[in-house]
Amino acid sequence: MLDGAAERGLTTPRAAGIAGIAFAVLFVLALVFLRDTVGRGLATETVLLNVTSGSTLALVGLYLVPFAGIAFLWFIGVVRDRIGEREDKFFATVFFGSGLLFVALVWASAAASSAIVVGVRYFGLEVPPAAVMGWMRSLAYALAFAFATRAAAVFMISAASIGLRSRTFPNWFAWTGYLFGAVLLLGVAFWDWIILLLPAWVAAVSLFILRRERARSRTARKSTAWCWANS
């Protein structure tokens, strides 16, 4: 029973780290591939031309988004499991709810931005007028940058609060979460791609978890070797 608990305590942080890094990589790649339909940089006529030619990159981005969301949900689950009884119920509810809301909004945004590409390529639909494409892009943009970004900001702030109260992370790590969350909450109105702060912060948290887990594993092996040597 003790061996099982020890093994669980070692594998859970490692799972959180791997899931967080997987989310960061997949989310950034998905945004890069979907930038031609979600971003504001291209004119609607150019996006329509990409749709007519069957934008493969947009479809790749569409397929990456669900896996990024799954990795993010896994990251949330194993972090909450790691904190355990030390978790503050109020911030835990906000943390969990904002994380779920972020994933749902990102999925909806990806679906809206790629619906026309899917319709033209797989269902043989005619290319819609520029106005229709513009409205779909506007919907996808609003979901991703007006709503999902704010949910991500709340997620980071609540996660930082949990880490600070439970002493799971160092104080400077928690204050970084507060800073990034505040910037994400307010700064997206000036620069939409500031949403990349979320995968950067999650990746940093994941690397911290993996590094601490590696140190604990080395300590456990040294302790076991010492016990065997002195038994």
pLDDT tens across 47-88, in order?
Answer: 666 666 656 677 788 889 999 999 999 999 877 776 766 667
User: 228, 146, 160, 136: which is closest to 195 by C-alpha?
Assistant: 146
Residue 192 has pLDDT above 50, yes or no: yes
37: CB partners within 8 A, 6+ apart? 47, 50, 55, 58, 113, 114, 117, 137, 140
Q: Percentage of the chain surpassing pLDDT 70?
A: 75
Mean pLDDT of the chain: 79
> Tell me, what's the pLDDT at 180?
93
Measured distance CA(114)–CA(190) in Å, rounded: 25
Tokens read off for 159? 């996660």
Measured distance CA(227)–CA(224) in Å, rounded: 5
Measured distance CA(89)–CA(120) in Å, rounded: 47
pLDDT in tens, 103-127: 999 999 988 888 877 887 788 778 7
Each domain of the chain, given as residue ranges in start order, spans 2-222
- Integer-rounded Cα Rg, in Å, for the chain is 21
Residue 225 has pLDDT above 80, yes or no: no
Helix (H, G, I), strand (E, B) or coil at 168: coil
Residue 221 has pLDDT above 60, yes or no: no
pLDDT classification of 9: cutoffs 50, 70, 90:
very low
Residue 194 has pLDDT above 60, yes or no: yes
27: CB partners within 8 A, 6+ apart? 65, 68, 72, 106, 198, 199
> Tell me, what's the pLDDT at 7?
43
Q: What is the DSSP code (8-state) at residue 128?
A: P
Residue 8 has pLDDT above 50, yes or no: no
